[in-house]
Amino acid sequence: MAFTQVMSQLTEEELAKIAQNPLANIISVPFQNNTNFGIGPFDRTQNTLNIQPVIPLAEGKFIIRAILPIINQPNILSETGNYNGIGDISLSAFYTNNKGKINWGAGPIINLPTAGENLGIKEWGVGPSIVGVIKPGSWVIGVLINNVWSLESDLSAFTFQPFINFNLPNGYYLSTSPKVTANWQADSGNKWTIPIGLAFGKLIKPKGFLPFNIQGGAYYNLEKPEFTGAEWQLRVAITALIPKAIF
């Protein structure tokens, strides 16, 4: 069956809920741009474009997720100067269970030391990663949790990312997905980044083309590292949905 036929059978609302579910049995390729403002004593701006392909295997029983960050990192101790390039690539593999009211996935997460100068830790790392999703009515609600330990030093990083989506008619939706992180080796005042914010999005279904999801939002950091943390973040994302029938 051609991909236009596959997608024509789903409404914009149904496709929006699929796009919001990290355990959905569909290939998706998000491009998420995060612009972070107010970093360091000179209020520098940092930008990260995350390319995040998600590929289900074995009828959705396994899901591979990669994050490739392309970073523009300012020298926070100066009014000028930037570092540009690729950060450390993150690779996750989930075994999933999509039966019942609660969908979940669990597996390893690996940090690949691909970062350029001052763009990442450049160390091999590994740890556990879990995700859970519920979809009551117009809602898609879940959480992603992982912790990565370096295999080359005592560095350790934690991520807790809840996501809450409320779907409106015609593919529109409201969303929040704050990414809470902790650097366990930092002192107590510089350990946590805790944002709060809101986003607005829409699933677009052009006739004869792949559907895609667009979203924009802003997040303010309630807690952040004193010198390296941003005051707030502007997040813009576009996600292509690719039905497996194409292949």
CA–CA gap between residue 242 and residue 247 (Å, rounded): 10
E-state strands within 58-184: 62-74, 82-86, 89-97, 103-112, 125-134, 139-150, 156-167, 172-176, 180-183
Per-residue pLDDT of the chain (247 residues; tens, 9 = 90+): 444 455 567 888 889 999 999 999 999 999 999 999 999 999 999 999 999 999 999 988 999 999 999 999 999 989 999 999 999 999 999 999 988 889 999 999 999 999 999 999 999 999 999 999 999 999 999 999 999 999 999 999 999 999 999 999 999 999 999 999 999 999 988 999 999 999 999 999 988 788 999 999 999 999 999 889 999 999 999 999 997 644 3
Q: Count of CB atoms within 10 A of residue 22's CB? A: 24
CATH label of the domain that carries residue 162 = 2.40.160.40
Q: What is the span of the domain harbouring residue 240?
A: 3-246
Residue 94, CA distances (Å) to 27, 51, 147, 225 in order: 14, 18, 14, 31
CA–CA gap between residue 172 and residue 156 (Å, rounded): 38
Number of domains in the chain: 1
Question: How big is the chain, counted in residues?
Answer: 247
35 - beta bridge partners?
A: 47, 234
Task: Using alpha carbons, select from 21, 39, 38 the residue that is nearest to residue 30.
Answer: 21
